[in-house]
Amino acid sequence: DGGGVESLDYEVVENFAYREEQAQRGKLYVSYLLVVKWFFALLIGICTGLAAVFINIAVENFAGWKFSVTFDIIQKSYVAGFVVYVLINLVLVYSSVYIITQFAPAAAGSGIPEIKGYLNGVDIHGILLFRTLIGKIFGSIGSVGGGLALGKEGPLVHTGACIASLLGQVTCGCAAGVAAAFRAPVGGVLFALEEVTSWWRSQLMWRVFFTSAVVAVVVRAAMGWCKSGKCGHFGSGGFIIWDISDGQEDYSFAELLPMAIIGVIGGLLGALFNQLTLYITTWRRNYLHKKGNRVKIIEACLLSFLTSAISFGLPLLRKCTPCPDSDLASGIECPRPPGMYGNYVNIDAIVILSIFQFFCSKDKEYNDLATIFFNTQDDAIRNLFSAKTINEYSSQSLLTFLVMFYALAVITFGTAVPAGQFVPGIMIGSTYGRLVGMFVVKYYRKLNIEEGTYALLGAASFLGGSMRMTVSLCVIMVEISNNLKFLPLIMLVLLISKAVGDAFNEGIYEEQAQLRGIPLLESKPKYEMRNMTAKEACGSGRVISFPRVVKVSDVVSILRSNKHNGFPVIDHTRSGEPLVIGLVLRSHLLVILQSKVDFQHTPLPSDPRGAGRSIRHDSGEFAKPVSSKGICIDDIHLSSDDLEMYIDLAPFLNPSPYIVPEDMSLTKVYNLFRQLGLRHLFVVPRPSRVLGLITRKDLLIED
């Protein structure tokens, strides 16, 4: 698989074609480009918003229909209800895994490691294709609707990036995806900033911000439209927003201890999660998934059966709890069964009444495990976050759920379906968070403590311990809970859980990227680099270079003989001394070989400004198609006449690639390479002269 990974060229190749285009265009063209970029940002916002709305409506409708059918049937027979429940889930999961395996293999998983890689400068073939987009959208409807222990948020980020890559602005799409998934526009901007882009320019921030704002408006408009009941089971509670505006008002200093404990638990469980999923995915890649698509399909179906069985069966083993005396003052009442509240609106009111005692024989009783297990994840989280519901859950139920769901989430990770880790992470975290909250309520004996607040902190801590994001995660948590008061608490918990997690391993996205052979450059150079020089890093192999005018047959044989993607071009001065005149890319050479128009008979350099020289190519021709393999040397067929001809490389090369002297420390080289998003860097001998110095003053040119 690792073979599909290649670096991206962010560097502008300032060759003749590019320079002439620039010269012809002038300033107006720049304004035109700017307008186009903004228009595209608008489009990306609208499309991502609509995609998110579509996915949400579809998932809610499938899930809502599934639960209402199942409830209908279990009034008569639990066994028949179970069978129907399992079957519906199976069909949904099967459709998802079928789409992925047959149609869009790159759409499996969350896609965030790949997007992270892309924005770090590594291209993974197929990751941003249109078919991946389609596969991602429909696949995640199936896998999430089918009740697996995974979320639709990661895939939405990938969806946004796919949409945006069609318009050439992946960063915007990434932010739009987060903004749409969590209805968190600021969180989206920060996510794109912190988690994905390796090099960030402030003019980009402005546009990313705009895209996120557009998403927010689109989603809001769509939800307003759905409020009138036009969207079936999709109710006002669609999209994950767990409003806890009635949560705890204040916190005492004594509470900081249990909160710190939540942070530590989050760090530990998160690191464990990363480690376990790493083992399991490694095993899957090396053994299971090697055996072909059929195994992948069977695996997903088995998982679906297992998940359905556990989520239906386990609540049956629990005893029912009597509802607390529902006095209006405290606002406590029986937890509502699925279908009543939150995620989807059940149209049939009579059904609702009859299923009120689901799993429980008596009136005024409820099954606490069922409210979180036999429910959509969004509603389950809403129940866990709920305030003013002290003692709603027994600790046994929460523990059972924690263990079972954690295990399910671990083994589901890496299946061949689109799968996000946000919502499962929130589920796991809020469960142990609420458990800690229960202990606090018990031992601190204070009235103003809310278990729901602890659940929120737990969710933050688990995500922090697993994903190791900080600022963006914090803002996302605040935006989804719609309550700014928890900000310092969430910050605290995140700081602790990330620190604890970092002591064990890397974040889940980094680990998965590594596993997939995506070479991410971290923001910080490694410590060892201080004692290494540029020359040592690039090894002692002979540099493969081209002369300025080169025979076609030589080009072909050199390109065949190695896998390098860039080659220095060496010319000679009049006095016969060698001179490096630039860098030519393999991809450009392939374009030249394929088009053949630049072949010439003489081995003498042609006049670059000669007639018709530049109009043979425009720079667009050299642009690499997004996320596809491009041409390969073996695809090009040349006659023996062609092979005898020559090419003058001068018009096509990048005349001034960045250079470093041979004994520069690798730390400095690393900073240069990463900050500028380079692909190739020439290591050259120390210069013999300094022609000038550039200081800040020289760069302050007035318009």
Ligand X SMILES: Nc1ncnc2c1ncn2[C@@H]1O[C@H](COP(=O)(O)OP(=O)(O)OP(=O)(O)O)[C@@H](O)[C@H]1O
Residue 565 makes contact with ligand X by CB under 6 A: yes
Q: CB of residue 558 vs ligand X: minimum separation in angstroms?
A: 9
Say if residues 162 and 134 touch (Cβ distance below 8 Å): no
State the binding partner of 448 from ligand X, its own copies, none, CB within 5 to 8 A by kind.
none
Q: CB of residue 41 vs its own copies: minimum separation in angstroms?
A: 11
Q: CB of residue 7 vs ligand X: minimum separation in angstroms?
A: 3
CA distance 362 to 139: 40
State the binding partner of 411 from its own copies, ligand X, none, CB within 5 to 8 A by kind.
none
Q: CB of residue 176 vs ligand X: minimum separation in angstroms?
A: 28
Residues 6+ apart with CB under 8 A from 571: 547, 548, 578, 579, 581, 650
| Helix segments in 75-168, DSSP class H | 78-102, 112-120, 130-145, 153-166
Residue 689 makes contact with ligand X by CB under 6 A: no
From 321-329, 423-431, 440-448, 534-542, span contacting ligand X (CB under 6 A) = 534-542
State the binding partner of 399 from its own copies, ligand X, none, CB within 5 to 8 A by kind.
none
Q: CB of residue 123 vs ligand X: minimum separation in angstroms?
A: 8
CA distance 386 to 392: 10
Q: In terms of C-beta density within 10 A (0-12 exposed, 13-18 middle, 19 or more buried), how is residue 18 classed?
A: middle
Phi, psi (degrees; rounded to nearest 5) at 547:
-75, 170
| Helix segments in 364-486, DSSP class H | 368-373, 377-385, 395-412, 422-444, 451-467, 471-481
Say if residues 180 and 51 touch (Cβ distance below 8 Å): yes
State the binding partner of 354 from its own copies, ligand X, none, CB within 5 to 8 A by kind.
none
Residue 563 makes contact with ligand X by CB under 6 A: yes
Q: CB of residue 368 vs its own copies: minimum separation in angstroms?
A: 31
- Extract the tokens encoding 57: 């409506």
The size of the interface with ligand X (CB under 6 A), counted in residues, is 19
CA distance 335 to 701: 67
Residue 632 makes contact with ligand X by CB under 6 A: no
Q: CB of residue 665 vs its own copies: minimum separation in angstroms?
A: 6
Of residues 121 and 235, the one with the C-beta less far from its own copies: 121
State the binding partner of 372 from ligand X, its own copies, none, CB within 5 to 8 A by kind.
none
Say if residues 405 and 272 touch (Cβ distance below 8 Å): no
State the binding partner of 671 from its own copies, ligand X, none, CB within 5 to 8 A by kind.
its own copies
In 3D, which of 646, 555, 643 has the Cα closest to residue 605? 646
State the binding partner of 474 from ligand X, its own copies, none, CB within 5 to 8 A by kind.
its own copies
Among positions 561, 685, 696, 703, the unique one binding ligand X when judged by CB under 6 A: 696
Place of tokens 């018990």: 442
Residue 697 makes contact with ligand X by CB under 6 A: yes
State the binding partner of 563 from its own copies, ligand X, none, CB within 5 to 8 A by kind.
ligand X
State the binding partner of 286 from ligand X, its own copies, none, CB within 5 to 8 A by kind.
none
Of residues 69 and 684, the one with the C-beta less far from its own copies: 684
Positive or negative: CA dihedral 461, 465, 470, 476 = negative
CA distance 9 to 246: 50
* Pairing state between β 566-572 and 546-547: parallel
State the binding partner of 471 from ligand X, its own copies, none, CB within 5 to 8 A by kind.
its own copies
Say if residues 313 and 207 touch (Cβ distance below 8 Å): no
Q: What is the x/- site pattern for ligand X, positions 6-45, by CB under 6 A?
A: xx--------------------------------------
Of residues 302 and 537, the one with the C-beta less far from its own copies: 537
Which helix (H) or strand (E) covers residue 494, if one does?
Answer: helix 487-502
- Extract the tokens encoding 667: 């730390």
Q: CB of residue 52 vs its own copies: minimum separation in angstroms?
A: 15
Please state the length of the chain: 703
State the binding partner of 328 from ligand X, its own copies, none, CB within 5 to 8 A by kind.
none
Residue 633 makes contact with ligand X by CB under 6 A: no
Of residues 328 and 693, the one with the C-beta less far from ligand X: 693
Positive or negative: CA dihedral 372, 265, 303, 419 = positive
Tell me how far CA of residue 489 lies from CA of 259, 267, 482, 536, in angstroms: 8, 16, 14, 47
Q: CB of residue 588 vs its own copies: minimum separation in angstroms?
A: 16
Residue 695 makes contact with ligand X by CB under 6 A: yes
Q: CB of residue 666 vs ligand X: minimum separation in angstroms?
A: 13
Q: CB of residue 11 vs ligand X: minimum separation in angstroms?
A: 12
* Pairing state between β 365-366 and 646-648: unpaired
CA distance 187 to 179: 7
State the binding partner of 394 from ligand X, its own copies, none, CB within 5 to 8 A by kind.
none
Among positions 567, 599, 652, 673, the unique one binding ligand X when judged by CB under 6 A: 567
Of residues 349 and 701, the one with the C-beta less far from ligand X: 701
Render 300-318 in DSSP notation, one character per residue.
HHHHHHHHHHHHHHHHHHS
Q: CB of residue 22 vs its own copies: minimum separation in angstroms?
A: 6
Q: CB of residue 660 vs ligand X: minimum separation in angstroms?
A: 13
Residue 676 makes contact with ligand X by CB under 6 A: no
Phi, psi (degrees; rounded to nearest 5) at 591:
-60, -40
In 3D, which of 201, 177, 240, 310 has the Cα closest to residue 480? 240
Residue 561 makes contact with ligand X by CB under 6 A: no
CA distance 470 to 463: 9
Place of tokens 């062609």: 642
Q: CB of residue 688 vs ligand X: minimum separation in angstroms?
A: 17
When computed from its CA atoms, the radius of gyration of the chain, rounded to whole angstroms, is 29
CA distance 30 to 10: 19
Of residues 324 and 517, the one with the C-beta less far from ligand X: 517
CA distance 5 to 342: 43
State the binding partner of 209 from its own copies, ligand X, none, CB within 5 to 8 A by kind.
its own copies
Residue 629 makes contact with ligand X by CB under 6 A: no
Among positions 154, 266, 433, 566, the unique one binding ligand X when judged by CB under 6 A: 566
Q: CB of residue 166 vs ligand X: minimum separation in angstroms?
A: 23
Say if residues 459 and 421 touch (Cβ distance below 8 Å): no
CA distance 263 to 636: 58
Of residues 160 and 424, the one with the C-beta less far from its own copies: 160
Of residues 155 and 677, the one with the C-beta less far from its own copies: 677
Of residues 495 and 556, the one with the C-beta less far from its own copies: 495
Q: Which residues bind ligand X (CB under 6 A)?
A: 6-7, 538-539, 541, 543-544, 563-567, 679, 692-693, 695-698
